[in-house]
Amino acid sequence: MKWVRRAAIIFLLAVALACVFAERLAPADYAHQFRDIPDAPASAAHWLGTDDLGRDRFSRVLHGTRISLLLAPAAALIASFLAAVVGGTAGFVGGALERAVMSGTDLFLSLPWFFLLITVRALMPLNVSPITSVIITFALLGCLGWAAAARVVCADARSLKNSDFALQARASGSSGYRLLRHHLLPNLRPVLYAQFWISIPVFILTEANLGILGLGVSEPLPSWGSLLRELEGYSSVTSNAWQFAPLLLFISVVSCFHLVVLDRELPA
Amino acid sequence: MSKRWFASLFVMVLTLGSATAQSGTELRFCLWSEPKTFNPLLVQDDSSETVRYLTGGVLVRLNRQTQQLEPELATAWKTSRDGRTITFALRQNVKFSDGTAFSAEDVAHTIQQMMDPNLHSPTGDSFRSGEGKVETKVLWADKIAIFFPAPIAGLDKLFDQVAIMSAKSPKKERAVLGPYYVAEYKAGSHLNLERNPNYWKHDSSGHQLPYIDSVRLDIQQNRDIEILRLLRGEIHLVNSLNAEYFDKVIAEKPALVHDAGPSMDSEQIWFNQVASAPLPAYKKAWFGSTNFRRAISESINREDLSRVVFRGHARPATGPVSPGNQFWFNTRLQPHPFDQKAAMKRLEQDGFRVQNGALRDKDGNAVEFSVVTNAGNKYRERMATMIQQDLAGIGIKLHVVTLDFPSLIERIARTFNYEACLLGAVNIGLDPSEQMNIWLSSAENHQWNPGQKAPETAWEAEIDRLMRAQASELNEKKRKEYFDRVQEIAWEQEPFIYLVNRNALSAISTSVQNAHPVVLRPQVFWNIDRLSLGSEVAQK
């Protein structure tokens, strides 16, 4: 299966490179409305046609992918960091603190956080630029998405703390900090990596869901969520097959992320 | 002899077969939600309204095509000079669907029920003109007078919504005077309406109406499925389509769709002009300036909005009355043209200037504001995005913010923490009195600055005066003059920047005959008792 993983990595790198050079590759400004040609099919001027407002779809896909691919890992990083701090501390200290923290985590997990996200977003100031709004959206996703990962990290930290090598280190006089720094954290890294990679497609999907509800990234900035809204409902789908390009890219990227993660997890 | 006998038998069988096919006609279409009530006086939602329209008998009916009032259960009526009394002469020998006789007692009973404060009838709200009781007096079995405590403008038209209920029938609201009665209701699935055997109306050749024997209303919330069912021939009509569905149907079955022209519905933007709103003073000054509002209006390309967002199925709006409202629309007014040079001139009069591509006010503040609209409404989101590009043309930065509906209402009606809002208005009635709750400065739906204790501007005071004058005037011509002036002030001051009037779009199977879709609700089945089904009957 190594070749599949390699292909996935190459594909992700190609997408990432295309996004980095989006300004150079895009044939038009992603926000410019060519109002005489809405819903146009693919042509030399518009490689993936235009959307319902006449905006160049290829340019929007490039910029939308850049935003989703840049900010989803950032949100995943926030979530993984919080999971490491909360879950790691609870697992390492154990006892009453672990029980209290895990109860809090369970409570957090049971919250209808999608609605919470909608509420928090509604409370945001109105006069923010689209780029600020997208950063806030992903930051919120990161801050709300740590709980499931924290449970996994906590369980792993607890098992590491009670492992033979940790016992030996403690018997050899290692302090708590030294035990954490040199023995536990390095061994927690694979779990944290896995949680990080798993979170990326989850956040991409959540942003897409918010986008479909119209609560994601503000216009005119594109994201995968707003691009996928074109396919919302039977009436929106036209005979223009290029409309499906963002969906195809979205599925490919999320699948590639899963392939990369799966292959990392198997040896562990 | 035997040959002739067989031939006669064959003809008889054919005739019987054809009669059976005719008598089993069933019209099918969808309701988008469960009807919340079958009591015609408590109707608020669209589905209950549909059932009321199909089953209720009214004294007078607004002809949706001519927009004129026509006699139904009342053969004649007269409104007193002071506008407080209306007298109806009733049709004789009319029976409810269960056979109970109809008389003036039933009208009196309906009015008393409707005005009972404990019932909280939304239909009755339109008749509450002032303090005091509404009285009824049965003059004869076929004549009744109704007395109101204060004059009501357009009083007779309001009776279009009042379905008469029986005072004596044990079936209560299930005994009806309309073309159909509710024969079966399966919650979450469908309603079956059967032809009222006692319906009073006949066609010119003496044939009892309605022509169609039954109506099946399937409860279907998913519009996609509804359209697919129409295309498969499982239902006969879709009463209201959006532009995308219209194009979808036209691509597959062009004969089915109808564009009746601009509907009563409008889309508009307004600026927050509430004095206590938590906005910076300089923004309040912008939003309160007529020049600023007019400049924004002239910077919006309404033709593009109609063509791109609504795919040509909308018309640039002029004001609070759609051109579809034949009597009340002020024909002297035209939609504001797209003219950014004229807009800049207006802005310069207020001290605005463009610096490095950005518009700044006289104090150097960059002109930047947000417009909120409800999330999930693609048309409004698209309009806002197009307006964003239009305003960028004069150096204004517009932030488009989509909010879930409760959050939006919280901001525009309670906290007033917003700058501009894009929403639509659905006008069901034609009469300007139905817009009193919007135009009076004291009204809660006076959205740009609701609930004013006294009008805060001279033009709002003038609108208040004109709206009150038209409401207490019985001469239609004078009322029209007053309301024309209201439309002119709204056009000059633009508290609402009207964008477009959406067209009334519908789809009807070619097997439905006598269908003439119109702009008023219910667009397709307004003449339900005259619709008939041809040979191409929808398949189950």
pLDDT tens column, B361-393: 999 999 999 999 998 888 999 999 999 999 999
Mean pLDDT of B313-329: 95
Neighbours of A81 (CB within 10 A): 15
Asked if B338 contacts B303 with a C-beta cutoff of 8 angstroms, the reply is yes
Question: Which pair of structure tokens corresponds to residue B28?
Answer: 């099918």
The percent of residues in chain B predicted with pLDDT above 70, rounded, is 95
The reported pLDDT for the residue numbered B9 is 46
Would you mind telling me the total number of residues written for chain A in this entry? 268
pLDDT given for residue A214 in this prediction: 62
The enclosing H or E element of B225 equals: helix B223-232
* Cβ atoms B458, B282 nearer than 8 A: no
Do A218 and B401 lie within an 8 Å CB cutoff?
yes
Answer yes or no: is pLDDT of B31 > 90.
yes
On whether the CB atoms of residues B534 and B513 are closer than 8 A, the answer is: yes
Confidence at residue A239, expressed as pLDDT on a 0 to 100 scale: 65
Q: Is the pLDDT of residue B155 over 60?
A: yes
DSSP characters over B257-278: EEEEEEEEEEEEEEE---TTSS
- Nearest CA to CA, how far is B238 from chain A (Å)? 14
Token digits for B4?
A: 């002739």
Which of B222, B231, B244, B272 is the best mutation test for A, with the most CBs of A within 10 A? B244
Is the predicted pLDDT of residue A210 greater than 80, yes or no? no
- State yes or no: pLDDT of B204 exceeds 80: yes
What residues of A are in contact with residue B401 (Cβ under 8 Å)? 126, 218
Q: What is the ipTM of this complex?
A: 0.81
**Mean pLDDT within A24-52:** 93
Do the Cβ atoms of A235 and B384 come within 8 Å? Answer: no
Q: How many CB pairs under 8 A join A and B?
A: 85
The length of chain B in residues reads 540
pLDDT for B107: 97
* pTM confidence score: 0.85
CA B481 to CA A199: how far, in whole Å?
Answer: 65
Q: Evaluate if residue B461 carries a pLDDT over 90.
A: yes
pLDDT of residue B539: 43
Q: What is the pLDDT of residue B22?
A: 44
Q: How far is CA B305 from CA A52, A62, B300, B400, B419, in A?
A: 12, 26, 9, 16, 22
Q: Which of B23-32, B91-100, B104-113 has the lowest mean pLDDT?
A: B23-32
Nearest CA-CA distance, residue A119 and chain B, Å: 8
Bigger pLDDT: B8 vs B489? B489
Q: A130-144 and A185-212 are packed helices; what angle lies between their axes, rounded to 10 degrees?
A: 130
Confidence of residue A235 (pLDDT cuts 50, 70, 90): low
Percentage of the residues of chain A whose pLDDT score is greater than 90: 34
Q: Distance between alpha carbon B71 and the CA centroid of its chain, in Å?
A: 21
| Dihedral sign for Cα atoms in the order B340, B342, B348, B349 | negative
Determine the pLDDT at residue A182: 84
pLDDT one-digit tens code per residue, B479-508: 999 999 999 999 999 999 999 999 999 999
Asked if A215 and B404 touch (Cβ cutoff 8 Å), the reply is: yes
Of B38-47, B378-387, B469-478, B487-496, the least confident: B469-478
Mean pLDDT of the A27-48 span: 93
pLDDT of residue B316: 97
C-beta of residue B318 within 8 angstroms of C-beta of residue B311: no
Residue B48 to chain A, least CA–CA distance (Å)? 26
In the predicted model, what is the mean pLDDT of chain B? 91
**N-term to C-term CA, chain A:** 16
Measured over all CA atoms, what is the biggest interatomic distance in chain A, rounded to whole angstroms? Answer: 77
B407 Cβ neighbours under 8 A, 6+ residues apart: A119, A122
Q: Is B481 exposed, middle or buried (0-12, 13-18, 19+ CB in 10 A)?
A: middle
pLDDT greater than 70 at residue A265 = no
Do residue B376 and residue A214 have CB atoms under 8 angstroms apart? yes
- The dihedral sign for the CA sequence B440, B444, B445, B451: positive
Of B223, B375, B386, which is closest to A214 when you measure between CB atoms?
A: B375
The pLDDT of residue B234 is above 60: yes
Cα nearest neighbour of A129 on chain B:
B399
Using 50, 70 and 90 to split pLDDT, how confident is the model at B523?
very high
pLDDT band at B20 (very low <50, low <70, confident <90, very high): very low
**pLDDT-derived band of residue A236, with 50, 70 and 90 as boundaries?**
low
- Best A227, A234, A238, A243 member to test B by mutation, with max B CBs in 10 Å, is A234
Give the minimum alpha-carbon distance from A2 to chain B in angstroms, rounded to a whole number: 43
pLDDT at B540: 39
Contact B419 A126 (CB under 8 A): yes
Which chain A positions have a beta carbon within 8 Å of B251's beta carbon? 239
Q: What would the pLDDT profile of B211-220 be if each residue is shown by its tens digit?
A: 999 999 999 9
| Chain A residues whose beta carbon lies within 8 Å of the beta carbon of residue B370 | 126-127
Q: Looking at residues B85-106, what average pLDDT do you find? A: 96
Q: CB distance B404–A31 less than 8 Å? A: no
B500: phi then psi, degrees, rounded to nearest 5: -145, 160
Chain B contact set for A232 (CB, 8 A): 378
Give the model's pLDDT for residue B339. 97
Cα atoms in the Cβ-side hemisphere of radius 13 Å centred on A93? 13
pLDDT at site B18 = 39
B143 has pLDDT over 90: yes
Distance of CA B382 to the CA centre of its chain: 23
Least confident of A100-109, A214-223, B93-102, B134-143: A214-223
Give the three-state DSSP class for B163.
strand
Handedness of CA A43, A48, A51, A57 (dihedral sign): negative
CA-CA distances (angstroms) from residue B374 to B314, B403, B494?
20, 5, 22
Closest CA to B491 of B261, B329, B273: B329
* Amino acid B214: pLDDT: 96
Q: Answer yes or no: do A119 and B407 touch at CB < 8 A.
A: yes
Beta carbons of B385 and A35 less than 8 Å apart: no
Among A72-81, A100-109, A218-227, B44-53, which stretch is predicted with the lowest mean pLDDT?
A218-227
Within its chain, how far is the Cα of B117 from the centroid?
25
Q: How far is A143 from chain B (nearest CA, A)?
A: 21
Selection from B296, B368, B281 nearest residue A128 by Cα: B368
User: What interhelical angle do A147-161 and A95-110 show, nearest 10?
Assistant: 160
pLDDT at position B10: 44
Distance between CA B404 and CA B406 in Å, rounded?
A: 6
Question: What phi, psi does B329 have (nearest 5°)?
Answer: -70, 130
Q: Which stretches within B116-181 are classed as H helix?
A: 122-125, 155-158
Search chain A and give the residue with CA nearest B420. Answer: A126
For A132-177, what is each residue's pLDDT tens digit? Answer: 888 888 888 888 889 999 999 999 999 998 888 888 888 888 887 8
Q: Do B308 and A126 touch (CB under 8 A)?
A: no
Q: What is the 3-state secondary structure (H, E, C) of chain A?
A: CHHHHHHHHHHHHHHHHHHHCHHHHCCCCCCCCCCCCCCCCCCCCCCCCECCCCCEHHHHHHHHHHHHHHHHHHHHHHHHHHHHHHHHHHHHHCHHHHHHHHHHHHHHHHCCHHHHHHHHHHHCCCCCCHHHHHHHHHHHHHHHCCHHHHHHHHHHHHHHHCCHHHHHHHHCCCCHHHHHHHHHHHHHHHHHHHHHHHHHHHHHHHHHHHHHCCCCCCCCCCCHHHHHHHHCCCCCCCCCHHHHHHHHHHHHHHHHHHHHHHHHHCCC
Q: Residue A128: what pLDDT? A: 82
Q: Which of B382, B399, B416, B417 to mutate to test the interface with A (most CBs of A within 10 A)?
A: B399
* Cβ separation B385–A53 shorter than 8 A: yes
Give the Cα separation of B437 and B433 in Å (integer): 8
Residue B122 region by backbone torsions, left for phi larger than 0, else alpha for psi between -120 and 50, else beta = alpha
DSSP-based three-state secondary structure for B340: helix
Quote the pLDDT of residue A263.
60
- What pLDDT, on the 0 to 100 scale, is given for residue B327? 93
| pLDDT over 80 at B528, yes or no | yes
pLDDT at B198: 96
Using DSSP's 3-state secondary structure scheme, residue B79 falls into strand
Residue type, B170: P
**Of residues B244, B400, B402, nearest to A215 (C-beta):** B402
Query: Using the 8-state DSSP alphabet, how is residue B375 labeled?
Result: T
pLDDT for B53 equals: 97
Least confident of A115-124, B146-155, B367-376, B404-413: A115-124
- pLDDT for the residue B236: 97
Q: What pLDDT, on a 0 to 100 scale, did the predictor assign at position A99?
A: 93
Report the distance separating Cα B277 and Cα B449, nearest Å: 10
Q: Which residues of B touch A (CB under 8 A)?
A: 223-224, 227-228, 242, 244-245, 247-248, 251, 304, 307-309, 368-370, 372, 375-378, 381-382, 384-386, 388-389, 399-404, 407, 417-419
Rounded mean pLDDT, B56-63: 96
pLDDT at A242: 81
pLDDT, average across residues B35-58: 95
- A32 vs B contacts (CB less than 8 Å): 389
Q: Are B204 and B183 in contact (CB under 8 A)?
A: no
Task: Say yes or no to pLDDT of B19 above 80.
Answer: no
What's the pLDDT score for residue A212?
Answer: 65
Q: Is A137 exposed, middle or buried (0-12, 13-18, 19+ CB in 10 A)?
A: buried
